[in-house]
C-alpha cells in the first residue's frame, strides 16, 4: 500500500512540474505547450515596456507567431490586420516578447496569433486570448494645432486648429477640454487680449473677416470686415493690426477695436506673423516666408517706420518668439537669433534637434527650446547661448510655456511636423529644477 502511495505521489509531482501557473486569470496551472491553442499568460508592464509570455505551440507544422498590439478595442478577436503586427517570431520555442516601443495612449491590447499548416485545411491562424494594458493617468487629446495661445493666469491653452477652423480651450491643470467650436474656415495666427474688462480672442479668417470671441465662452461677440484674406492679427493699444492679402498684395491694416474703423493701411509687405515687442505699445516684429520686419506706429495706428531684410539664415513664423527685453527674437528649427535691427546673431548649438517652440524662464536667464523630433527640451544660457541642461519628456514637445518655474508642454505622441493632420497630444508639466539628462 505504501508503494502505491509513493508511485501516485511521483506521478502527481511530474504532472505539476510539466505545468505553468496562470497568475493572470484563475490562479490554476497550464501546460507549457498546446497543440492548436495559445494562451497569453500575463503582461508585465512598466512605463516604457510591456513583456508578453504565452504557451508554446507544439504543432509540427509551425510557421510563426504574430505579436499584435492594438490601440483600440477589437470587435473580432479571431481576425487581425497586418497593420497591428509589431513582431514576427519563427521559432516555436520562443514564447516571450518585450515591447520596448509602446505608444503613448491610455489603452492597448495585445494578442498572439500562431500560423500552422495542415495538409487538409492548409494554413491556419490560431488566436490567443487578448490582454489589455490600461493607463488611466495618461490622457491624450486629438488635435490639429496651427497655433497655441497661453493664458497662464487661468492655466489655459487656446488651440487654434487647422482642421475646419476648430478652436479649443484646454485646461492644462486639470487636463480637460473646457470648450470647442468649429468655425468652418481657414484661420490665421490669432491673438488673446483684454478689452473693456472682457478677455477676447481675435481670429483672422481666409474669407476677409476677423471674428472676435468671448475667450471664456467662445461665443462670437463681434466681427470686422477687412476685405482681404487675413493671415495674422495682433491686438495693441486698443487697435487690431491685421495682415491680409488682396489682389496678390500683402498689406498691413490697422483697425480701431471700438469703432471698427480702418485707421491706416501699409501696402506691399509680405504675408507675415506679427509679434508685439515686450514693453512697447508702438513696435512690432514680423516674420514672413523669406523676410524679417521691424515696424513702428504712433498712438493713432499710423506707420512711422518700417525696417525689413531678407532672412540671411533660417527663419520660420511657426516657431517665432521675442526675447522679454525686446532686443532679440528667435525662430526656426535651429534656433536662429536676430537682433532688433534684424541682424543675424547666431544659431543655438542644435545638433540633430529640430525646434518647434521657445520660451524663457522668469528672469529670462534661460532660453528653453522644444525638440519636436526628440522627447526632450533644452535649456540654454541667455546671454552666452551655451547648452545648460536637457530635460526628458514623455512625448515630443511641440508648444511650450513657462509657469511658476515649470515648463508646460503640449507634447505629441509621435515626432511632429507641420503637415495639417491630427496628432494625439498630452499635457506635461516639468519643473526646471528637475534633474535633467546632463548639466
- For every residue of 196-265, DSSP letters joined together read TTEEEEEEEBTTSEEEEEETTT--EEEEEE-SSEEEEEEEETTEEEEEEEETTEEEEEEEETTT--EEEE
Beta bridge partners of 357: 370
DSSP three-state, residue 434 = coil
pLDDT band for position 31 (50/70/90)?
A: confident
Among 134, 156, 191, residue at a domain's last position: 134
225: left (phi over 0), alpha (psi -120 to 50) or beta: beta
- Which residues have CB under 8 Å from 31's CB, separation 6+? 18, 19, 20, 55
Query: With the C-alpha atoms ordered 406, 412, 414, 415, is the resulting torsion angle positive or negative?
Result: negative
1 in a domain, yes or no?
A: no
For range 422-433, the mean pLDDT? 95
Nearest of 139, 159, 140, 141 to residue 149 by alpha carbon: 159
Domain residues for the domain of 403 are 141-431
% of the chain residues with pLDDT over 70: 92
User: For residues 213 and 1, what is the distance between their CA atoms, to the nearest angstrom?
Assistant: 92
Looking at the fold, whether 213 and 67 belong to one and the same domain comes out as no
In a domain, 333, yes or no: yes
Query: Rounded distance, CA 3 to CA 9, Å?
Result: 10
Tell me how far the alpha carbon of residue 301 is from its chain's centroid: 37
Mean pLDDT taken over the chain? 90
Give residue-wise pLDDT tens across range 140-197. Answer: 999 999 999 999 999 999 999 987 799 999 999 999 999 999 999 999 999 999 999 9
Q: What is the CATH number of the domain that holds 327?
A: 2.130.10.10
Domain's final residue, options 106, 134, 162: 134
Taking only the tens place, the pLDDT of each residue in 78-102 is 999 999 999 999 999 999 999 999 9
Q: Are residues 67 and 92 both part of a single domain?
A: yes
Under the banding of pLDDT at 50, 70 and 90, the label for residue 13 is: very low
Q: Are 124 and 169 members of one domain?
A: no
Q: How confident is the model at residue 29 (pLDDT cuts 50, 70, 90)?
A: low
Find out whether 221 and 214 touch, Cβ atoms under 8 Å. Answer: yes
Q: What does residue 379 show for φ and ψ, rounded to 5 degrees?
A: -100, 130
Query: What's the average model confidence in pLDDT over 398-414?
Result: 97
The residue with greater pLDDT, 417 or 154, is: 154
Q: Do 255 and 165 share a structural domain?
A: yes
391 with 284, same domain: the answer is: yes
Structurally, how many domains does the chain consist of? 2
Cα separation, 381 vs 368, whole angstroms = 9
**Res. 121 pLDDT band, cuts 50 70 90:** confident
Q: pLDDT band at residue 23, thresholds of 50, 70 and 90? A: very low
Q: Name residue 292's beta-bridge partners.
A: 287, 309
Cell for 339?
Answer: 537682433
Query: What CATH number is attached to the domain comprising 60?
Result: 2.60.40.10
Q: What is the pLDDT of residue 323?
A: 98
pLDDT for residue 2: 43
Contact 199, 183 (CB under 8 A): no
> What confidence score (pLDDT) does residue 436 get?
54
C-alpha cell at 234: 495682433
User: What is the distance between the alpha carbons of residues 78 and 173, in angstroms, rounded to a whole number?
Assistant: 41
- Confidence grade of residue 30 (pLDDT, cut at 50, 70, 90): low
Q: How many CB atoms lie within 10 A of CB 165?
A: 19
9 located within any domain: no
CB atoms within 10 A of CB 249: 12
- Residue 118, pLDDT score: 81
Judge whether 130 lies within some domain: yes
Q: Global pTM? A: 0.83
pLDDT tens, 203-258?
999 999 999 999 999 999 999 999 999 999 999 999 999 999 988 889 999 999 99
- Residue 5, in any domain of the structure: no
Domain boundary among 96, 115, 134: 134
Q: Is omega for the bond preceding 383 within 30 degrees of 0, making it cis? A: yes
CA distance 102 to 110: 11
Report pLDDT digits (tens) over 292-319: 999 999 999 999 999 999 987 888 888 9
| Region of residue 58 (phi > 0: left; psi between -120 and 50: alpha; otherwise: beta) | alpha
Chain segment 42-71, per-residue pLDDT in tens: 899 987 899 999 999 999 899 999 999 999
Position 437 in a domain: no
> Which has the closest alpha carbon to 324: 296, 293, 364?
364
Quick one: pLDDT band at residue 289, thresholds 50, 70, 90? confident
The pLDDT of residue 10 is above 50: no
341 has pLDDT over 60: yes
Pair 284, 418 in one domain: yes
Residues 150 and 68 in one domain: no
Let me know whether 79 and 155 are in one domain: no
- Kindly state whether residues 127 and 149 are assigned to the same domain: no
In a domain, 13, yes or no: no
pLDDT of residue 120: 78
Contacts by 31-39 with C-beta closer than 8 Å and gap 24+? 31/55, 32/56, 33/57, 33/58, 34/58, 35/59, 36/116, 36/126, 37/126, 38/65, 38/112, 38/113, 38/114, 38/126, 38/127, 38/128, 39/128, 39/129
C-alpha cell at 167: 478652436
Q: What is the mean pLDDT of residues 94-122?
A: 92
**HSE, side-chain direction, 13 A CA sphere, residue 382:** 26
pLDDT of 425 > 70? The answer is yes
Amino acid at each position: 500500500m505504501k508503494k502505491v502511495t509513493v508511485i501516485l505521489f511521483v506521478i502527481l509531482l511530474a504532472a505539476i512540474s510539466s505545468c505553468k501557473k496562470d497568475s493572470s486569470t484563475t490562479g490554476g496551472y497550464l501546460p507549457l505547450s498546446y497543440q492548436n491553442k495559445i494562451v497569453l499568460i500575463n503582461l508585465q508592464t512598466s512605463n516604457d515596456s510591456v513583456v508578453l509570455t504565452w504557451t508554446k505551440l507544439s504543432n509540427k507544422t509551425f510557421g510563426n507567431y504574430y505579436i499584435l498590439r492594438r490601440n483600440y478595442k477589437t470587435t473580432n478577436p479571431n481576425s487581425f490586420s497586418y497593420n497591428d503586427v509589431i513582431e514576427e517570431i519563427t521559432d516555436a520555442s520562443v514564447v516571450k516578447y518585450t515591447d520596448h516601443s509602446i505608444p503613448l495612449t491610455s489603452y492597448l491590447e495585445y494578442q498572439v496569433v500562431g500560423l500552422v499548416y495542415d495538409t487538409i485545411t492548409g494554413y491556419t491562424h490560431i488566436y490567443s486570448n487578448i490582454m489589455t494594458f490600461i493607463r488611466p493617468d495618461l490622457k491624450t487629446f486629438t488635435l490639429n494645432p496651427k497655433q497655441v495661445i497661453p493664458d497662464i493666469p487661468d492655466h489655459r491653452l487656446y488651440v487654434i486648429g487647422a482642421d475646419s477652423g476648430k478652436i479649443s480651450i484646454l485646461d492644462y491643470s486639470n487636463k480637460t477640454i473646457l470648450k470647442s467650436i468649429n468655425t468652418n474656415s481657414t484661420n490665421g495666427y490669432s491673438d488673446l487680449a483684454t478689452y473693456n474688462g472682457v478677455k477676447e480672442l481675435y481670429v483672422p479668417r481666409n474669407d476677409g473677416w476677423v471674428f472676435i470671441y468671448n475667450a471664456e465662452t467662445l461665443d462670437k461677440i463681434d466681427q470686422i470686415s477687412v476685405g482681404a484674406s487675413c493671415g495674422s492679427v495682433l491686438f495693441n493699444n486698443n487697435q487690431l493690426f491685421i495682415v491680409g492679402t488682396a489682389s496678390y498684395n500683402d498689406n498691413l491694416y490697422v483697425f480701431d477695436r471700438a469703432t471698427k474703423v480702418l485707421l491706416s493701411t501699409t501696402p506691399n509687405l509680405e504675408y507675415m506673423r506679427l509679434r508685439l515687442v515686450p514693453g512697447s505699445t508702438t513696435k512690432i516684429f514680423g516674420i514672413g516666408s523669406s523676410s524679417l520686419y521691424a515696424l513702428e506706429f504712433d498712438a493713432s495706428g499710423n506707420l512711422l517706420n518700417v525696417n525689413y531684410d531678407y532672412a540671411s539664415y533660417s527663419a520660420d513664423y511657426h516657431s517665432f518668439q521675442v526675447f522679454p527685453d525686446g532686443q532679440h527674437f528667435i525662430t526656426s528649427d535651429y534656433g536662429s537669433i536676430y537682433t532688433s535691427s534684424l541682424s543675424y546673431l547666431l544659431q543655438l548649438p542644435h545638433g540633430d534637434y529640430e525646434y518647434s517652440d521657445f520660451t524663457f524662464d522668469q528672469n529670462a536667464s534661460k532660453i528653453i527650446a522644444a525638440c519636436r523630433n526628440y522627447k526632450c527640451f533644452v535649456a540654454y544660457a541667455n546671454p552666452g547661448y551655451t547648452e545648460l541642461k536637457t530635460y526628458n519628456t514623455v512625448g515630443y514637445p511641440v508648444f511650450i510655456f513657462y509657469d511658476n518655474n515649470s515648463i508646460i508642454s503640449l507634447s505629441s505622441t509621435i515626432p511632429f511636423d507641420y503637415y495639417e493632420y491630427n496628432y494625439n497630444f498630452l499635457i506635461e508639466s516639468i519643473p526646471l529644477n528637475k534633474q535633467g539628462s546632463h548639466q
